[in-house]
Structure formats: structure tokens, C-alpha cells
Chain A
Amino acid sequence: MYNRLCILLIEPSFLIREGLKTMLSNLGNPYRLEEIDTPLDDLEKLINRLHPTLIMINPLLIPKMITLPRDPESNFNPIYIGLISNGVSTKTKSKFDNLLNLDGDRHELFKTMEKVMQQLGTSQTETDNYTLSERELSILKLVALGNTNNEIADRLFISTHTVMTHRKNITRKLGIKTVSGLTVYAILNQHIKMEEIQGS
């Protein structure tokens, strides 16, 4: 098990906070989150209490003249992510380790967050292999083509139970539960062709 991520989110907008939370959940790492929506005089105290690994902060809520608390010697070195929008000054930007552009599109946002997760070493792709194995891939194809668990078991000379275990793992890795969802996945990734299903 990896350590549970502790995130401090300092942002006045409820919608942006909610949006960020949704995005974080979609990244799939378990996390604990503390939300602050007002400027803080005592940022340092709060940080010392919570010891967050990740601090997402709107520059507007950082009191003037303050430098962001860091203490590499005590092993406390959080990653600061500035929640910025277009037109924020370079000076402001330079305070942060990473920047999340709130005006950016979905891909850009996710890419930044994934990069951060990798820096933290909590990325699941490191602790668990999320690509499908050869066996899982062949089972995925057969499922997508409409075969039942029994049919797949007969075809591959394995037990139905084993097929079910593989299917559970496929669902866990892809985040797709239904047969029709798996079919769409298989076609999008060119594991099977659309004509193959229509023919069967």
C-alpha cells in the first residue's frame, strides 16, 4: 500500500474546488483533502498541523510578502501547485513547483496532475501494472466479441473461475464494467474490428 495522499486545497471558488475534487477522484489515487476558502494569516501553522504532501493554492489567497513555507531539512517538502488562470505574472508563477492552468482543457489538466502524482511516487502505474497482460487481452477480445464465460473457458482450456478472475482484473485496470463498454474499448484500441462483431 502507498501512503494516503494529504492534500491542502486553498481556493475561494466552490465550483473550482468541486471540479478539482472530481478530477482528483478520477486520477484514482486515494487521498485526504482539507479545503480552505478564505485567505489565511497563519498558513504556516496550518501546514505544520496537517503536513500535507500536496498544496494546491490560489495565489490570491497567499498573504502578501510571505514565502511559501518549506523545510527540506525536517523532511517536510510539500509540492506547491499554483491554481492560476491566464494572465498571471511570471513572478507569481515562480513561487510554485507546478502550475495548474484553470483555463486549460481537460487533457492539459490531467497531464499536469499525473505529472505531479508521479513526482509524489504515489502514481498507481508505478505500484501496480495497469496495462493488460497477454492473457487478459485475449480474454478481453473474446468478451468483446460476445462470448460467455463458459465459452471462453472452453476455448482457452481454463476454468470458468479463472476467466472470472481475469475479467475482474480487466475491469479494475480499465475502469469498465459492462460487456458493451469492453467492446467499445476493444474497438477504440483496435484489438477487434467493428465488422467482426457485426458478423457474429
Chain B
Amino acid sequence: MRINKDMKMAEVIHLNHHLLPVLNRFDIHLGFGERSVETVCRDHALNIDFFLEIVNTFHDPSYFPVRHLQSFKASMLIDYLQKTHAYYLDFKIPEIRQNIRQITQEGSLQNSHKKLLEDFFDSYQHELTTHINKEEQRVYPYVISLENTLDNPASTVKELQEIGRYSILEYEEDHDDVEAKLFDLKNIIIKYLPTSKNNKLLNVILHDIFELERDLNNHGHIEDLILVPIVENMEKALRARLNKLSANV
């Protein structure tokens, strides 16, 4: 079922409660009353089409956004993506880490096994952080500066040429190893970690890992399906503008 502007925001959560952290990234918080998606978006000064594309890609991984790509500002997307980064690094990862730290107290894991799990998770955390930092420090600044240069009618040929030296495709990098580690972690817990009967906390950890994985997949999806096409369009526009300028000279 596609989420649309006329639904009540409360219905959206009933339909898929996994969307709650996504709404939080738009600074939308619980207590919707009877307000519709459209009203809530208006109250928060959000672009409704943008909001719908984001929640629908999250709600249904097979949903392919196409319609409104041109109308979105890259800066809007980057703002959203940065908030998901913050959610991982400041909330979800520390939460899982905290539960792993506590797990021996519950008695569901031996000390030596806990250490293995901790070390493995730490190395995952390190890799994820490195990957995110690269995006924040290199990719996003490039996109923002490309958008600003294009938006400014007074940008000089030199400025246009300067930013034109880069391409989003160069930054494309596989997330393979980061993804593989999370995949391994799931299987280690599901299949190989010996546990005692009382493993409620381990279940919570596993549940959190699935949630994190789902969120990360969606994050990658948004980058590949929405951000990259928008940036490619901007790069095309940049080349067109440079051609026009050089033809005028």
C-alpha cells in the first residue's frame, strides 16, 4: 500500500511503525491527532512530495521513486541523509553497544564470548563511522557546492569549471565490507553463539541489528535512486551552461 497525502499521519504509523525514526528525522514527533500527512507536512514547512518519496521508499523497498526528482533540492536530501547518519552514530549503534555490554549480567553469554561479540561489533562500528565520515566530509560538500554554484546566476566560468572537475560517480564506493560485517554479525548470533535459555537481551540485540540493517539499506537506496540522479542532472546542467558560455565568447 502506497502512503499518500490524504492519509492520517496516525494511520501511517499503524501501517508501518518502522517509519517512526524516519518521521523524527523530519522533526515530526508523536501526537498527530487526526491530522493528515499533508497537514502535518504543511505545519512543519516540509515539501510534501519529498516527504512522500522518502517514506514510500522506506515502507516498500521495491518502490521506485521517479516522478518528482527534478523538484527536489539536493540540499534537502542531504539534510535528511545527515540526520540518518546522526541516528546511526548517536543513537542506534550506542544502543546496541550498550546492550552487548550488559549481556553478561543477564547470564545469557559467557565472558569470553561477550568479548568476541564486543570486539566484532567495535570493528563494525569503526568501519561504519569511517564510511559515514567520508560521505560527510567529501561527497556531501561537493553536492552542496555544485548546487550553490548552479543556483547562482553570477557564477563565473572559472567557478563553473572548477566544480565541473568532479563527478558524483567518482565518489561512488561500494559499501560491501560494511554491509558484509553486519550480515556476519546476524549469522553469528543466529547460528553460532552458544546461549543459555535466558536470552531476551540477545533477542533485543538481534532485533536492533535487523532494524539497523533495514534502515541502512534504505539509506543506500535513497542515495542511489534519488541523490545520484539529481546530482547527475545538475552535472548535465553544468556542462550545458559551460557550453553555452563558451559559445558566447
| Chain A residues at the B interface, C-beta cutoff of 8 Å | 22, 26, 105-107, 174-178, 180-181, 184-185, 187-189, 194
Query: Does B188 count as interface, using CB distance less than 8 angstroms?
Result: yes
Contact in complex: A180, B194 (CB < 8 Å): no
| Chain B residues at the A interface, C-beta cutoff of 8 Å | 112-113, 116-117, 120, 123, 177, 180-181, 183-185, 187-188, 190-195, 197, 199, 203, 206, 210
A22 to B113, CA, bound (A): 26
Report A-chain residues with C-beta under 8 Å of the C-beta of B123: 180
A22 to B180, CA, bound (A): 18
Report B-chain residues with C-beta under 8 Å of the C-beta of A174: 187, 191
30 sampled A-B residue pairs with Cβ under 8 A: A105-B199, A105-B203, A106-B199, A106-B203, A106-B206, A107-B195, A174-B191, A175-B183, A175-B184, A175-B191, A176-B184, A176-B187, A177-B180, A177-B183, A178-B177, A178-B180, A178-B184, A180-B181, A180-B184, A181-B181, A181-B184, A181-B185, A181-B187, A184-B116, A184-B117, A185-B188, A185-B192, A188-B113, A188-B193, A194-B112
Report B-chain residues with C-beta under 8 Å of the C-beta of A178: 177, 180-181, 184
* Closest beta carbon of chain A to B231's beta carbon, Å: 30
- Residue of A with least CB distance to B177: A178
Report A-chain residues with C-beta under 8 Å of the C-beta of B199: 105-106
A180 to B183, CA, bound (A): 12
* Closest beta carbon of chain A to B58's beta carbon, Å: 15
A185 to B177, CA, bound (A): 17
* Closest beta carbon of chain A to B123's beta carbon, Å: 6
Beyond A178-B177, A181-B181, 17 additional contacts (C-beta under 8 Å) are A105-B199, A107-B195, A175-B183, A175-B187, A175-B191, A176-B187, A177-B183, A177-B184, A178-B181, A178-B184, A180-B184, A181-B185, A181-B187, A184-B116, A184-B117, A184-B184, A187-B116
- Residue of B with least CB distance to A194: B112
* Closest beta carbon of chain A to B222's beta carbon, Å: 22
A178 to B184, CA, bound (A): 7
A187 to B124, CA, bound (A): 18
Given contacts A105-B197, A181-B184, is CB(A188)–CB(B192) below 8 Å? yes
A89 to B191, CA, bound (A): 33
Report A-chain residues with C-beta under 8 Å of the C-beta of B183: 175, 177
A26 to B79, CA, bound (A): 35
Report B-chain residues with C-beta under 8 Å of the C-beta of A177: 180, 183-184
Which of B181, B187, B210 has most A Cβ within 10 Å?
B187
* Closest beta carbon of chain A to B168's beta carbon, Å: 27
